[in-house]
Amino acid sequence: MINVSKKIKVLGLEIYCGKLEELCLNNKFLVNTISPNSFAISEKDKTFKDALKNTDILVLDGLYFGLAPLLLRGIKVKKNSGTDCFYYFLSRANEISGKVFFLGASLETLVKMEKKARIDYPSITTESYAPPFRESFTKDDNEKMIKVINQFNPDILFIGMTAPKQEKWAYEHKDKINANIICTVGNVFDWFADNQKRPGKIWIKLGLEWFIRTIRRPEILKRYPNVFKFFWILFLNIIRIRKD
């Protein structure tokens, strides 16, 4: 069972404020991350909002969403990004010789990931599947993905399809999936496969990971209106014009 005392409700969402080490791999739960960008997207996407609201473990993917619990509730919540979750759960799976499934990305990326996992985490068994690259999946697509996952029967399922597609897919199909932990991790697949280089630890520590990623991928600038929207909604909650 998830310890509800380790959650704090802000802006209509229950944020996990405990440590990853306190999560038991024997329990079944869905892990998603929350950032200013994803919060703003969910404001105009009901399915995405429902997915976030019904997430068992919703962790902070960026420092700036952490301003919400700090300013609204006076509570500092530790950042546990999708990357943190990915490497933590891989390490735990390695300790128990567990089974890990990677869903998402291209076949080429998945081959790189499985090869690296065999070297870095030699005690785990891996399987993967590259879903069709399309805006929305068909019923047959969904049934195929669920079938290959359940045939492998993993301890952990990582989904890397970008937000909000991955969160909505996990939310809509979690009850049909035979995996203890379902964790959406977005761009982490490309980092793990060495397709892209993650910003250095100094930038992450300074809270400037977003800056380096924007320099490397200027298309991220398209997200900034959503970030401004998050801060505006946070401000309205602070001055009590809104109560999310």
Residue 216: pLDDT band (50, 70, 90) is low
Tens digits of per-residue pLDDT, 104-133? Answer: 999 999 999 999 999 999 999 999 999 998
pLDDT at 193: 93
Closest among 230, 209, 207 to 65, alpha carbons compared: 230
Tens digits of per-residue pLDDT, 143-158? Answer: 999 999 999 999 999 9
Residue 222: pLDDT band (50, 70, 90) is low
Q: Which residue has the higher pLDDT, 215 or 170?
A: 170
E-only strand ranges, the chain: 7-10, 13-16, 29-34, 57-60, 99-104, 125-129, 156-160, 181-184
pLDDT at 226: 87
DSSP run (H or E) holding 161: none
pLDDT at 138: 96
**Contact at 8 Å (CB) between 73 and 8?**
yes
Q: What domains lie within the chain, and their CATH numbers?
A: 14-192 (3.40.50)
